[in-house]
Structure 1
Amino acid sequence: MITGILMLTVRFDENGENEIILNFVKENQLFSKNLLSQIYPSTSEVKALSDGACWVIDRYFFDRILTEYDVKEQFIIHELLGLSRDTFSHLRKSTTSKEERVRMCIKQIGEQLGTVGENGEIVLPAAITQPIIASFSTATREFVALIIKKLTCEGILQVRPKPWIILDVDRL
């Protein structure tokens, strides 16, 4: 359970150069770092994107509660389905062009973390930056900068002043 924004990352090498953002966790969500570590041993991390708080629930206590209310299997299945969805989402993105991947990632971040305005625009959290979009989309920072400039010129995205605003989600 958290306040703020966290990102779940998976690293594919020791020095962290080949790392992707698996997904984001926002306020009032529960996630199992223990389960994530079991699926992606020693390569998964949780990183803060904004100020906030994360409460750690003792896993043995949590396990007892889940067992007592006979929902342990359902919880594990729910978490595994979420991780499978995240993994499938990355696989699906890998079959698209780089530009389409960047667009999909900006849209996904907006839908997951953004705040919808009066006119349907989505305000992204100030913590979202080009490097984060690059890592989430597995594109280079330079390419992300080009696509963001293109989206800005097309009137789809507003990047100045911060926070970024998705002006037209349908065209994204």
Structure 2
Amino acid sequence: MLNGMYDSNRKRNVRNEQIFNQFFASYPSDFQKIELKKGEHIVLEDEAFKGVFFIRKGIAIKEVLLKSGKTQGIRLTTKNEFVGALASVNVETYPYDVRCLTDMECYKLSEAVLHQILMIYPMFLYEALQADSYTNYQKMKFITGKVEERIIYNIVELAECFGEKNDQDVWLPKVVTQEILASLSSTTREYVAKILASLKSINILDTKQRHIIVHDLHKLHELIY
């Protein structure tokens, strides 16, 4: 089931890039290039809608503010993703923060070009919303379950979406820190460290040069499914 979701997401990102390239070639003045530094925000939760953004380079995290004042990570954004689609559909504000974990290159779409995209690709925004909803549905299965299952689920998801294969290993990017895993998993950094140590002891993963390295993604997947 998850493999199907990841394949679908990858295909959608390829299609997103094709859509961007098609319209950027025809209407370059309708795309405002925005360069952001690590720690800056593309959009803020409850900020008035200011447009849809296309991520060309870099990784960000979608977060919501909890009543406690802490932030809860939802998921990391991917290259070739459109951000802000939900706010353009049925609400006037953004439902979450999008905070840069790396330096980023984005393009803000004009209202005119967004309208053109929707005219030609009417399912474009729906598919993006559907993908977010399905990802959240999968995550919700683990919200009330064991904390270690949430952590493992997020490692699997991040490995599938962002991992780089090196022989049999999958290397997660350095931005996937214990703090980020804790935020995505609704737990503490200390508990993430405990679970990582447990997984290292059975040789499923390792940590090296600030990377989490998954040795056996299949076995990791089997721990929760």
**Given the two structures, how large is their TM-score scaled by the length of structure 1?**
0.84
Secondary structure of the residue aligned to 1:23 is: strand
Q: Which residue in 2 is equivalent to 1:25?
A: 77
How far apart, in 2, do the equivalents of 1:7 and 1:126 lie? 14
Report the alpha carbon displacement of residue 79 of structure 1 after superposing the two structures with TM. Answer: 1.8
Q: Which residue in 1 is equivalent to 2:218?
A: 170
Q: Whose strand fraction is larger, Structure 1's or Structure 2's?
A: 2
Report the alpha carbon displacement of residue 14 of structure 1 after superposing the two structures with TM. Answer: 7.7
Could you report, residue by residue, the CA deviation over 1:19-76 in whole angstroms, capped at 9, with x for unpaired residues? 322222222x122315258569455111111223122222x1233212442x23x112
Amino acid across the alignment from 1:152: K
Is 1:65 the counterpart of 2:119 in the alignment?
no
Query: Which of 138, 141, 145 is the aligned partner of 1:92?
Result: 141
Q: Which residue in 1 is equivalent to 2:152?
A: 103
Could you report, residue by residue, the CA deviation over 1:142-170 in whole angstroms, capped at 9, with x for unpaired residues? 11111011112221111122222111112
Amino acid across the alignment from 2:181: I
Indicate the percent of aligned positions where both proteins have the same amino acid: 24
How far apart, in 1, do the equivalents of 2:198 and 2:190 lie? 13
Amino acid across the alignment from 1:77: Y
Secondary structure of the residue aligned to 2:64 is: strand
Q: Unaligned 5+ residue runs, structure 2?
A: 1-54, 221-225
How far apart, in 2, do the equivalents of 1:13 and 1:96 lie? 22
**Given the two structures, how large is their TM-score scaled by the length of structure 2?**
0.66
Is 1:55 the counterpart of 2:107 in the alignment?
yes
Could you report, residue by residue, the CA deviation over 1:59-112 in whole angstroms, capped at 9, with x for unpaired residues? x1233212442x23x112112201211221221121431111111111111111
Extract structure 1 runs of 4+ deviating beyond 6 A.
Answer: none
Q: Unaligned 5+ residue runs, structure 1?
A: none
How far apart, in 2, do the equivalents of 1:54 and 1:136 lie? 23
